[in-house]
Amino acid sequence: MTQNDAKSASLSARALFGLRLAALVVILLGGVILTQVPHIGTGAGFIVVGPRVFPTVIGIGVLLLGILFLLRTTFQPDRDLIAEVEAEETSTDWATIVLTFLSLVVYAALLKPLGYALATGLFFPAVARIFGSTRLGRDVIIGVILGLVIYLSFTQILGVRLPAGLLAGIL
């Protein structure tokens, strides 16, 4: 086995591992959706289609697709997909992915105490900087406007309550 063959086999093994890991994440997501469905309120009165129906259908669908994907990557791997994953692996900037993920975790943690508008106002410029933006002022303005417009649209027009946080008295 030449060095190139060994390197190719290593990339293929990593690609298959990544695909199977993605399948497991999809299965986990389907499971999380299904475990959260019982926490959805049923509402008052009789309705033909309750609020739990669509999340249940989506949860089952995601779970089944994850299982099928795992079976496909285990028993009959798609060589073209593996080649595509290998090509993407060589050009992926993992630092950007990890920093974006961490910023999402921080964003989720800040949603309740700061509120949707402020958390979004901080999240947008942070992710823009991670993606390479050098115009902090513009990004902050866009983030604040975006956060406020979405917050007001959801709360005032759609009637969906988003956390107000520190701006509870103002919004």
pTM given for the model: 0.64
101 or 86, which is more confident:
101
What does pLDDT average to over the chain?
A: 88
- pLDDT tens digits, residue range 116-147? 999 999 999 999 999 999 999 999 999 999 99
Q: Where are the domains of the chain?
A: 3-91, 94-167
Looking at the predicted structure, is the pLDDT value of residue 5 above 80? no
Looking at the predicted structure, is the pLDDT value of residue 47 above 80? no
Q: DSSP letter string over 32-47?
A: HHHHHGGGS---SS--
